[in-house]
Amino acid sequence: MADHRDEGRPPAPVAGYLRRHREQLLPVLFVLPALAYVGYFAFYPAIDAVVLSFQTPILSFTFYNYQANVNLGLYTWIANTFWLTLGALALQFGLALGIASIVNRNFRGKRIFATIAILPIGISTVVAGYAFSTIFPGSGGGYAASVLSVVGYHETIYWLQTPAKALLAVIIADSWKNTALVVIILVAGYASIPSTLYQAAAIDGAGPLRQFRYVTLPGIRGFIVIALLIRGAQEFNIFQLALEMIGQYPQLLTVQIYVLYTSGEGIYLASAVASVLLGIVSVFILVVLLLGTRQ
């Protein structure tokens, strides 16, 4: 039957395919610049970093860059980065769930509170980093001490004395700056839950806590996954705040990449650490996507 069709047109599979999908041609062309752009500016450098990590300055293959970093304490850097990410995510999601629950209610002054909650997004990270380094100074004292003395605590805390305290300071600073984004996403999640579900749960005898557990949490699950993806990746990548507040005490992967890059050892050692960070972020994205899409 097909033989009789399209008489007068020579059979040309490619031309025929293009003709049938003519309407799709422009959308495809429109997407190509963005793909070319991210290909050249994101994926090519990322792959280049991996390639560089296996190279010596005379371009021969080597594992030296990795071995050298292991000797310098690569595993500790990974652990520090991991703890920082875990702590920051926990604090941010705890805070964001609370703030989103508050914003989801109607009360006098709600608009003011919502504006206050989103303000930190507008504050420059570099300035916030400096402000937090005066709140949590390594030399003790600072504005944290000012607040603590108001409530009657007068011991001196040296914030860079132990890795845990230093990381905690960065976690607080980072959470202050970035919780608002999680709030925005979670508020959208709350809004997607029909209020009839709460009414039904209330009729079934569920109190506020069980409503949260059985209505709110399942309803905003997808939104939590998105927020977790965005923030989680950003926590692994945290650089400016950490560099400014704690420098190398303790060391994080990103800061070490910068320190190695700007030191004499240069780009090859830095690329090895960069590749490790890239690998961790990739695994993180995969795991969250797999867990999040599994129902």
CA distance 240 to 237: 9
User: Nearer to other proteins by C-beta: 19 or 162?
Assistant: 19
Instruction: From 64-72, 82-90, 132-140, 157-165, give the range in contact with other proteins by CB under 8 A.
Output: 132-140
- Angle (nearest 5°) at CA 240 between 282 and 179: 75
Instruction: Give me the least distance between CB of 167 and other proteins, in Å please.
Output: 18
Instruction: From 57-65, 83-91, 160-168, 172-180, give the range in contact with other proteins by CB under 8 A.
Output: 172-180
Instruction: From 67-75, 82-90, 159-167, 285-293, give the range in contact with other proteins by CB under 8 A.
Output: 285-293
User: Nearer to other proteins by C-beta: 68 or 184?
Assistant: 184
CA distance 173 to 185: 20
DSSP state of 151: T
- Out of 54, 82, 83, 120, which residue is the one contacting other proteins (CB under 8 A)? 120
User: Nearer to other proteins by C-beta: 70 or 127?
Assistant: 127
User: Nearer to other proteins by C-beta: 64 or 130?
Assistant: 130
User: Nearer to other proteins by C-beta: 129 or 250?
Assistant: 129
Buried b (16+ CB within 10 A) or exposed e, 257-276: bbbbbeeeeebbbbbbbbbb
Instruction: Give me the least distance between CB of 51 and other proteins, in Å please.
Output: 8
User: Nearer to other proteins by C-beta: 72 or 230?
Assistant: 230
- Out of 58, 111, 151, 295, which residue is the one contacting other proteins (CB under 8 A)? 111
Instruction: Give me the least distance between CB of 70 and other proteins, in Å please.
Output: 19
Cβ-based burial of 288 (10 A; exposed 0-12, middle 13-18, buried ≥19): middle
CA distance 233 to 213: 26
Strand partners, 55: 61
Please count the CA atoms within 13 angstroms of the CA of 134 that sit on its side-chain side.
6
User: Nearer to other proteins by C-beta: 59 or 119?
Assistant: 119
- Other Cβ atoms less than 10 A from the Cβ of 125: the count is 17
Contact (CB, 8 A) for 185 and 227: yes
- Out of 88, 89, 97, 117, which residue is the one contacting other proteins (CB under 8 A)? 117
Interacting positions 9-68 with other proteins (CB under 8 A): 19-24, 26-31, 33-35, 37-38, 41-43, 45-46, 48-49, 52
Say how far residue 209 (Cα) sits from the centre of its chain: 29
- Angle (nearest 5°) at CA 20 between 19 and 22: 60
With binding defined as CB under 8 A, does residue 138 bind other proteins?
A: no
Number of residues that bind other proteins (CB under 8 A): 124
Handedness of CA 202, 117, 134, 169 (dihedral sign): positive
With binding defined as CB under 8 A, does residue 170 bind other proteins?
A: no
- Out of 168, 202, 249, 265, which residue is the one contacting other proteins (CB under 8 A)? 202
